[in-house]
Amino acid sequence: MRDKKLKDAVVFTVLSLLYPAYLFATRQPGSITNVSLFLALFFPIVAIIFSLNVIDPRFKWGLTSLNIVIFILFAFYTIQILL
C-alpha cells in the first residue's frame, strides 16, 4: 500500500478487531479489567477516525462501516460484562 492514510486505517481496523477478540476469547468475563474494556472500545473509535481520513471513497466508507459494526458489537459485549 502506497497510501499512508489507507495503511494506517487498515492497521487500526485490524487492531480494533484482534485486540477485543483476543481479550474476550481468552479471559473469563469477570476477570477483564475496566482498562481493557476501555481499550476494546477505544481502538474502533480511533480506527473510525483514521478510516474517515482515507481519500478513496470505496475504502473510506467500507472501513468506516466495518469499524462502526465492530464498535457496536464490542460495545454490546462490554455492556453485558459490566452489568
What percent of the residues of the chain are helix, what percent strand, and what percent coil, each to the nearest 5?
A: 85, 0, 15
pLDDT at 21: 85
The model's pTM is 0.84
CA distance 19 to 47: 13
pLDDT at 33: 86
Per-residue pLDDT of the chain (83 residues; tens, 9 = 90+): 678 999 999 999 999 999 888 888 888 888 888 888 888 889 999 999 999 999 989 999 999 999 999 999 989 988 888 88
Three-state SS annotation for 31-57: HCCHHHHHHHHHHHHHHHHHHHCCCCH
